[in-house]
Copies of this chain bind each other. A is one copy, B any other.
Amino acid sequence: MLKLNFAKKLLAVAACASLLASPLMAAEKVYRLKLAETWPTNFPIFGDAPKNMAALADKMSNGRLKITIDSKNKHKAPFGVFDMVRAGQYDMGHSASYYWKGKIPNTLYFTTMPFGMTAPEQYGWFYYGGGQELMDEVYGKFGVMSFPGGNTGNQMGGWFQKEINSVEDLQGLKMRIPGFAGEVLAKLGAKPTNIPAGELYTALERRTIDALEWVGPSLDLRMGFHKIAPFYYTGWHEPATELQFMINKKSYDKLPADLQQILKTAMRTAAYDMYIQSYHESGVNWDRMKKEFPNIQVKSFPADVIAAMRKANDELLAEKAAADPLAKKILDSQSEYMKKARVWTEISDKAYLDNMSE
């Protein structure tokens, strides 16, 4: 209806700019973030967490927050994710905090610990017991923000070719078990090794290794270990492996407040969802494994083996606490929290499960 000549149109457009409050203009702008994940393309469960997070952020922001994901097939640096986020080469990362322990020792404590907290206990510590604040303290000085990124639930102790009946059976045991849990076993005489995922099946089949741990039925099924090893041991070393979302602080600070909240909520929901998805897939896949291979024997390590592992674990942690005040602060916080939470777990979920097994 309006008949404006060109000059008037220009005036009108200019007037729009002044009439419109800046929030509206900001509402138009599309923010694009790049995320590097440690996992290969389309890796199940682990890879679903950042995808779900990005989809939620996109929908909740009406397309104003776009997150693209590069898998390790693209960036070729699965264990360089922290460095790339720190340097701003990527805005975000999806990985696991304990991968950075060689570089920053105190990142070890934000994934899972042998004989540590279960998933609900550990989420309690992160969100209500000071865990997030301690993670902020560790990561803050690198200009990186870190958040829980999805939990695998309790990981199985692994696939073994031979039964473990005593601590002696650990002597010289060649086992693929990376990280801190490997250090614990090494203290007891085992020979932990690391082997690329693609070579694990053959290594276990040909007895190049005697045992290995991967995750649990949720991800072990596709690896096929149940076809070649008779003993599946229950867990001790990764009771609640929490993956990690990282964001470069500068990338985060550039976002308007509503998109910051959308991003944080999308990460938090995707993390919780991954825990539940892992639980679900574990139940479904274990059912399949057992049906196809009814001879799989589920075993728990004997009490004296567990006791020896705990002792070795406690000694290693005491060394770490003695060497670094921040490590001590984190470990004290975890063990204090766990004491209260575990007593509750024992009279609630554990007592309930015991009541039902009777």
A interface residue numbers (CB < 8 A to B): 2, 4, 8-9, 11-16, 18-20, 23-24, 27-28, 56, 59-62, 115, 118-121, 123-124, 127-129, 153-154, 156, 216-217, 232, 234-236, 239, 256-258, 261-262, 265-266, 268-269, 272-273, 275-277, 279-280, 282-284, 286-287, 290, 298, 300-301, 303, 306-307, 337, 340-358
Q: Across the interface, do A340 and B284 meet the contact criterion of CB distance under 8 Å?
A: yes
Interface centre among A123, A306, A352 (most CB of B within 10 A): A352
Residues of B within 8 A of A268 (CB): 269, 272
Q: Across the interface, do A258 and B345 meet the contact criterion of CB distance under 8 Å?
A: no
Report the separation of the CA atoms of residues A273 and B345 in the bound assembly, to the nearest whole angstrom. 17
A256 to chain B, nearest CB (A): 8
Q: Across the interface, do B346 and A124 meet the contact criterion of CB distance under 8 Å?
A: no
Q: Which of B62, B306, B344, B351 contacts A282 (CB 8 A)?
A: B344
Q: Which of B4, B300, B342 contacts A15 (CB 8 A)?
A: B4
Q: Which of B27, B56, B60 contacts A27 (CB 8 A)?
A: B27
Residues of B within 8 A of A239 (CB): 349, 352
Residues of B within 8 A of A153 (CB): 120, 348-349
Report the separation of the CA atoms of residues A155 and B119 in the bound assembly, to the nearest whole angstrom. 18
A325 to chain B, nearest CB (A): 26
Report the separation of the CA atoms of residues A9 and B11 in the bound assembly, to the nearest whole angstrom. 9
Return 8 A-B CB contacts under 8 Å, by A number: A60-B262, A115-B356, A153-B349, A236-B355, A269-B269, A286-B343, A298-B351, A306-B355
Report the separation of the CA atoms of residues A142 and B191 in the bound assembly, to the nearest whole angstrom. 63
- The answer to whether A300 and B129 touch (CB under 8 A), given A280-B124, A347-B234, is no
Q: Which of B12, B118, B258, B287 contacts A352 (CB 8 A)?
A: B118
- The answer to whether A2 and B18 touch (CB under 8 A), given A59-B258, A129-B280, A344-B286, is yes
Q: Across the interface, do B351 and A300 meet the contact criterion of CB distance under 8 Å?
A: yes
Residues of B within 8 A of A217 (CB): 344
A317 to chain B, nearest CB (A): 15
- The answer to whether A306 and B16 touch (CB under 8 A), given A265-B266, A279-B344, is no
Q: Across the interface, do B286 and A347 meet the contact criterion of CB distance under 8 Å?
A: yes
Q: Across the interface, do A340 and B286 meet the contact criterion of CB distance under 8 Å?
A: yes
Question: Which residue of chain B has its CB nearest to the CB of A123?
Answer: B276
Q: Which of B20, B28, B124, B353 contacts A16 (CB 8 A)?
A: B20
Q: Which of B9, B277, B349, B351 contacts A349 (CB 8 A)?
A: B349
Q: Across the interface, do A62 and B344 meet the contact criterion of CB distance under 8 Å?
A: no
Report the separation of the CA atoms of residues A24 and B29 in the bound assembly, to the nearest whole angstrom. 11
A151 to chain B, nearest CB (A): 10
Q: Across the interface, do A301 and B355 meet the contact criterion of CB distance under 8 Å?
A: yes
Q: Across the interface, do A154 and B348 meet the contact criterion of CB distance under 8 Å?
A: yes
A212 to chain B, nearest CB (A): 18
Q: Which of B8, B124, B283 contacts A344 (CB 8 A)?
A: B283
Residues of B within 8 A of A349 (CB): 118, 153-154, 239, 349
Report the separation of the CA atoms of residues A342 and B70 in the bound assembly, to the nearest whole angstrom. 36
Residues of B within 8 A of A282 (CB): 344, 348
Interface centre among A236, A239, A262 (most CB of B within 10 A): A262
